Structure 1
Amino acid sequence: MTNDEVMSLMEDDDIEALDAEAQEDGDGQLYEHFRLEVDKGQVPLRIDKYLMEHMQHQTRNRIQAAADAGFIQVCSADDMAKGRPARPVKSNYKVRPGDVVFLMLDRPHFDTTIEPEDIPLDVRYEDDHLMVIYKPAGMVVHPGCGNFHGTLVHAIAWHLRNLPSYDPNDPQVGLVHRIDKDTSGLLVVAKTPEAKTSLGKQFFNHDTHRSYVALVWGNFVEDEGRIEGNIGRDVRDRLRMDVFAPDSGIGKPAVTHYRVLERYGYTTLVECRLETGRTHQIRAHMKHIGHPLFSDERYGGCEILRGERTASYKAYIQNCFKLCPRQVLHAKTLGFRHPATGQQMDFTSDLPDDMQLLIDKWRNYFKNKL
């Protein structure tokens, strides 16, 4: 297994692709995904630091989290000589010559090779360097546990199958960013390593322009605002993210700007502009300030959080949930500089039908309440 594959197995941003039921129904067995024998000349060194040097793109926090979960195991030279099995170690364990280090995960190893699949792809722009595509809600971006086929990257591989220079398994090309399975909207794909490097730097330096439209629970006092708080995995639910203080040292820094578009009394339509692009950033930030996304089951938005206690209102909300049974979030605009020409490229996409119908329903409801 390559370092990049190991990285993806431990990547926080892949949690949306995990199959929760498969995780819950597991038999508790651990499966070997990576092993590394410590060189004979190695001086004693903390295992988290050692793995950072030998596992490309890993962060120390991610390695420490794997160790805390019992996924980092070691079989020393003495253990091997006596036939003892590997044992879990903490982050402060110091590796020694002859140690064999294992990454053990709670799911079997699977083949991550991307093969082209004939799946419809909505291409909004394309040239020799890049594509801008529209992803519908419900489509997984990358393959993962429970979603090995039928993903967006399989569809991209099919669309570019006759382009000799494009290898869907080469991390130097392909999708530059991602959105959640049940979020709709625009994404950019790099066809060349040069394009991906340029676009990747723009995303890293926050030089891109991205705005989302979301329907959230509650009415805002202010017309616009800024949310700052680190995004990290929720300690109680590994499929959900939580918000931590900027100076906590937990998670990754994240900033979301929002602006009220329309008010419907019990819900609000907002535009969110990302300064950073963390996993579930808008969903976690909005929940953090008391405005979960409407119909967002994972973050509590599938409950009646505002409004009346009447039977008719409860029935109305249930009909709303059925009309748009996902978090009401759409990646509406995307802007960046073209990696070859330097020209500013700006794209926008209409709201999908389920969101538009829901917004119209709330608009009419609020109008009739006035």
Structure 2
Amino acid sequence: MATSTSPPRNENKRDFATSDTGAGQRLDRWLVSLNPDLSRSRIKQLIDSGQVSVDGRNNVDAALILKRDQSIVLTIPPPTETRIAAQAIELEVVFEDAHLIVVNKPAGLVVHPAAGNPDRTLVNALLAHCGDSLRGIGGELRPGIVHRLDKDTSGLLVAAKSGGAHAHLAQQFAAHTIQRVYDALVWGVPDLRKGIISGQIGRSTTDRKKMAVRKIGGKYAETHYETLEAFGLVSAWVICTLKTGRTHQIRVHLTSRGHALIGDRTYGSSPGKLSKTFDSEALGKVRNFSRQALHARVIGFTHPTTGKAMRFEREPPVDFRDLAETLRAATKQNAKLKPSKR
């Protein structure tokens, strides 16, 4: 059994000594098992930067195989200021404590700074909102983004405020134990009211900016769906539950079944002859819907510190509900459309 004479967790140095259980293990894996508040990538970063010594030697490899009765010292430098600017952007905070924050992201807000979106992102907003309550992730004072929503997808997102919370939440996402439920407005009505769409998702072979269902390569993805409401034969309100979390998963899966999201300029387009279904005003509203009609309604997870089951839910925003009402009203007015079988 490993013994530790480490000071309190809020200090910088942690001292360990190997025993029978440590002997024969890799250095990085052993340290990860003893420091649940640090991710494996953070442990490796500390080893590579000389912050871990074995019997007084700092120049060690993460793959070093440990022996019995070795002394290991792990030094965690104080977190540095992030280069990302804190920007006061209005946020709808659904839940917050010392470890994490859940927000209802509006459509149009990018999650993390990147090429083309250097600032005015959710991360900039979280830096301003959380301020001194951020306790360092990866050696940097920043919020820990463990999952993302596309810029034009609205809904619930959880972010970590400490390294321990970040590591714990990341493990839950990797294990696919996070509950995620989405609302989607799609073209057409699924043949089956309920169903499962599965298969490999990877980069498109014809457009590297897009994802696609692949016969070879990619990663396994699984989406469960249920039709909540059919608007004639033209469109439907579908509830999607993610069992995995691949890039653009819902958009790609529904498009592969012929039900692209309304407003999705990347993966789908509106069907023809819409003028036979909608009057000019309704047609304009549908065609001018400026984003994919997708909303992250539910997120559920285990709290990284208390172990309590957490679940949060938010209705779709006004633009989504208005679009649904437009589809509903047009269906009622159009006597030629037959109601779909439920």
TM-score, normalised with respect to structure 2: 0.70
- 315, 318, 324: which is aligned to 1:359? 324
Q: How far did 1:117 drift?
A: 1.2
| Contact map agreement 1:234 1:240 (CA 8 A) in 2 | yes
Code of the residue aligned with 2:166 in structure 1: it is K
Pair 1:189-2:121 in alignment: no
Pair 1:179-2:144 in alignment: no
Pair 1:297-2:265 in alignment: yes
Check 1:312–1:255 CA distance in 2 against 1; reply closer, same or farther (3 A cut): closer
Check 1:306–1:210 CA distance in 2 against 1; reply closer, same or farther (3 A cut): farther
Aligned residues: 255
**CA distance in structure 2 between the aligned counterparts of 1:164 and 1:206, rounded to whole angstroms:** 26
Q: How far did 1:164 drift?
A: 5.7
**CA distance in structure 2 between the aligned counterparts of 1:229 and 1:235, rounded to whole angstroms:** 16
TM-score, normalised with respect to structure 1: 0.65
| Contact map agreement 1:135 1:187 (CA 8 A) in 2 | yes
Check 1:308–1:175 CA distance in 2 against 1; reply closer, same or farther (3 A cut): closer
- 304, 315, 318: which is aligned to 2:284? 318
Q: How far did 1:308 drift?
A: 4.8
Pair 1:260-2:260 in alignment: no
Q: What are structure 2's unaligned runs of at least 5 residues?
A: 1-40, 43-81, 336-342
Code of the residue aligned with 2:238 in structure 1: it is V
* 1:3-42 matches, cutoff 5 A: none
**2:140 corresponding residue in structure 1:** 170
Structure with the larger helix share = 1
**CA distance in structure 2 between the aligned counterparts of 1:172 and 1:228, rounded to whole angstroms:** 35
**CA distance in structure 2 between the aligned counterparts of 1:369 and 1:182, rounded to whole angstroms:** 30
| Contact map agreement 2:136 2:163 (CA 8 A) in 1 | no
Q: How far did 1:276 drift?
A: 0.7
Tell me how large the CA RMSD over aligned residues is: 2.3
**CA distance in structure 1 between the aligned counterparts of 2:157 and 2:226, rounded to whole angstroms:** 22
**CA distance in structure 2 between the aligned counterparts of 1:339 and 1:237, rounded to whole angstroms:** 39
Pair 1:341-2:309 in alignment: no
| Contact map agreement 2:137 2:162 (CA 8 A) in 1 | no
**CA distance in structure 2 between the aligned counterparts of 1:164 and 1:185, rounded to whole angstroms:** 23
**2:11 corresponding residue in structure 1:** none
Check 1:300–1:330 CA distance in 2 against 1; reply closer, same or farther (3 A cut): same
Code of the residue aligned with 1:253 in structure 2: it is Y
Code of the residue aligned with 2:286 in structure 1: it is C
**CA distance in structure 1 between the aligned counterparts of 2:148 and 2:134, rounded to whole angstroms:** 24
Q: How far did 1:263 drift?
A: 0.2
Pair 1:328-2:293 in alignment: yes
- 111, 114, 117: which is aligned to 1:144? 114
* 1:241-260 matches, cutoff 5 A: 241-245=211-215, 248=216, 250-260=217-227
SS across alignment from 2:251: helix
Check 1:314–1:255 CA distance in 2 against 1; reply closer, same or farther (3 A cut): farther
Code of the residue aligned with 1:275 in structure 2: it is K
SS across alignment from 2:224: strand
Q: How far did 1:114 drift?
A: 1.3
| Contact map agreement 2:199 2:221 (CA 8 A) in 1 | yes
**CA distance in structure 2 between the aligned counterparts of 1:230 and 1:172, rounded to whole angstroms:** 33
**CA distance in structure 2 between the aligned counterparts of 1:330 and 1:206, rounded to whole angstroms:** 19
SS across alignment from 1:271: strand
Q: How far did 1:309 drift?
A: 5.3
Q: How far did 1:253 drift?
A: 1.2
Code of the residue aligned with 1:336 in structure 2: it is F
**CA distance in structure 2 between the aligned counterparts of 1:273 and 1:118, rounded to whole angstroms:** 33
Runs of 4+ in structure 1 displaced over 6 angstroms? none
Check 1:210–1:192 CA distance in 2 against 1; reply closer, same or farther (3 A cut): same
Code of the residue aligned with 1:328 in structure 2: it is A
**CA distance in structure 2 between the aligned counterparts of 1:307 and 1:218, rounded to whole angstroms:** 13
SS across alignment from 1:362: helix
Check 1:273–1:342 CA distance in 2 against 1; reply closer, same or farther (3 A cut): same
